[in-house]
Structure 1
């Protein structure tokens, strides 16, 4: 155990947050997966073991990605963007249709499905961080800087939005945040927002899932006029939350898990509140807020622009996704297919979320190593064992 702790670097609080969210995930998934197990004709333990393997696999990927110097992700980002665009196109045309949406690519021989938008989020954020940090000297140049940035943001947005509008909107918002931090001019940011708005309206009114998007917004704005089958998910999420009370019904005592579709994924926060009450719900909110706080500290201390932008983009992406999921569960937003990071049952989403955590930890590790290097005394080479007291080395 001591050896493992010595090999894990970076912010210790983030490691603790990952462990806490993993434990919460195991408890919530084990409680809410019974209906899925019945539909698939499997035992609950089988699905739980699959989820455990995913969590363990995610922790391994997080460990590996945090050991890699975050500067290497600058080069990897170009490769990821080159791979991501064709994968998104392939998913739209040949992807597996689940819940009337083509968001997944089936991985042959594994029984798993790969959601390409998870890779796209990681690819676009790392690419923007790299481009913004390297183009600071001519950041106002339209041809050299703005057009490649705007083109990548809008292209990824439209390819994701056609099948997964909620994820596309969150990624677009994170991208705009990075543009602001990266000193892109207000005029250019306004142009990017205008282009995004035009694409958004096109997806809502002309896209293949336009009826679904319009229906969900109408149900959210006018729940009293919605048909029972349209508001079924949001109604039962509210019932679960209302019946939880202050301390909840207790672990494994949820009743709405038998009615809520995707209770182990999209609506898992409602199950957590039903079983652990307001106390459990606020605890989860507090964990994600504390995660954001620790990540902001990393951003402010990062010595390089690329590390700061990278940690900022990934941390805001994770926390915005978390609060979007929780907002939907409590009725503050229309129904979406956004999982709760590291808590919802999932396959590749857990793995890519873990990689994002690993990259943030890699930036944090670099900060710690920089502090340690500066605090080490510099030896005087003119004599043995002589140390120049008070002198520090600079990077």
Structure 2
């Protein structure tokens, strides 16, 4: 056990947060999958074991990605972008459709599906960190710096937004934060925002899911006039939260889990609050805030611009997604399809979240393991040779 712990490098508090979120995920998912197990005609334990296998697989990916020097992700980001763009296009045209959206690609022979937007988030953030760190000396050069950066952000945004607007908006927001940190001028950031606004208007008003988006906005703005079928999920999420009280009904005692269609995924926070009360909900918010705090410390201590931008982008992405999911559950936003990072049941979302944590830990590991500053004393007769360890 001590050997395993000694092999875990980087910020130990982040490792603790990940383990804690994994335990929360197992408890809450087990409570929320009763209806899903009934529909599939299987035992809840079999679904839980599959979820546990994904968590273990995610932890393994997290361990592998944290052992890799974060500088290698600069080169990997180019490859990811080259792969991601065609995959997003393929998903829009040939992807598996669910709720009028093409977000998944079926993996032949496995019975599993792959959500390409999860890869796109990781690809764009790492690519932006690379571009911004390498273009610092001529960051205001419109042709060589600004246009490639703006083009990558807007292209990924539109390809994701056509099927998954909420994820695209969060990724766009993270991209703007990275542009600010990367010293892009206010004028250029304003141009990117205007371009994003035009694309957003086009997706909402003219896109293939325009009726769904407009319906969700109207339901959120005027719930008293909404069709009960349209507000069903939001209404029962509010009922779950309101019935939880301060300390909740207790583990496994949720009743709204029988009504919420995505209780184990999009609305898992509502189930957590129903079972563990406002106290449990506040503790979970505190965990994500603490995670953001530890990541900001890594950003401040990172010696290289690429490491700082990489840790900032990934940590902002994870925490913004977490708070977006919780905000929807408590009625502060329209219904979306955003899972709670490392808590909601999911396949590719859990795996790519694990990789993101691993990359952040890789940056942290580089801070904790100084290179080039250590000195080595070697006795040689009456001489003492002082050498530098590379």
TM-score using structure 2 length: 0.97
Distance in 2 of aligned mates of 1:63 and 1:262: 30
Partner of residue 65, structure 1: 65
Q: Flag the 1:393–1:180 CA change in 2: closer, same or farther, 3 A.
A: farther
Cα distance 1:256–1:152, how it changes in 2: closer, same or farther (>3 A)?
same
| Alignment partners' CA distance in 2, 1:7 and 1:28 | 29
Equivalent pair of 2:103/2:115 in contact (CA under 8 Å) = yes
2-structure distance, mates of 1:206, 1:105: 24
Q: Is the 8 A contact 2:376 2:389 kept in 1?
A: no
- Provide the C-alpha distance between the structure 1 equivalents of 2:268 and 2:382, rounded to a whole number of angstroms: 63
Structure 2: distance between partners of 1:383 and 1:67: 39
The corresponding residue for 1:289 is 289
Detail structure 1 runs of 4+ shifted over 2 Å in the superposition: 376-388, 392-395
Alpha-carbon displacement from aligned partner over 1:17-66 (angstroms, at most 9, x marks no partner)? 00000000000000000101111111101100000000000000000000
Question: 1:377 & 1:87 partners in 2: Cα distance?
Answer: 48
1:318 offset after TM fit, Å? 0.1
* C-alpha distance in structure 1 between counterparts of 2:324 and 2:383, whole Å: 58
> Is the contact between residue 379 and residue 385 of structure 1 (CA under 8 Å) also seen in structure 2?
no
Structure 1 residue 383: Cα displacement: 6.1
Which residue matches 1:300?
Answer: 300
Alignment of 1:1-395 (within 5 A): 1-370=1-370, 374=373, 376-379=374-377, 386=384
Measure how far apart 1:99 and its partner are. 1.9
Equivalent residues of 1:377, 1:387 under 8 A apart: no
Shift of the alpha carbon at 1:68? 0.2
Q: Alpha-carbon deviation of 1:379?
A: 2.8
Post-superposition offset of 1:384: 5.7
Distance in 2 separating the partners of 1:54 and 1:62 = 12
* Aligned length, in residue pairs: 390
Uncovered stretches (5+) of structure 1, i.e. residues with no partner: none
Q: For 1:104 and 1:89, locate their aligned partners in 2 and report how far apart those are by CA, in whole Å.
A: 11
Give the RMSD, CA atoms, in angstroms.
Answer: 1.6
Aligned mates of 2:108, 2:283 — CA distance in 1: 39
SS at match of 2:113: strand
TM-score by length of 1: 0.96
**Which runs of no fewer than 5 residues in structure 2 stay unpaired?**
none
1:232 to 1:7, Cα distance in 2 relative to 1, 3 A: same
Q: Hey, what's the Cα distance between the residues in 2 that align with 1:66 and 1:381? A: 35
**Matched position secondary structure for 1:379:** strand
Q: Distance in 1 between matches of 2:335 and 2:382?
A: 70
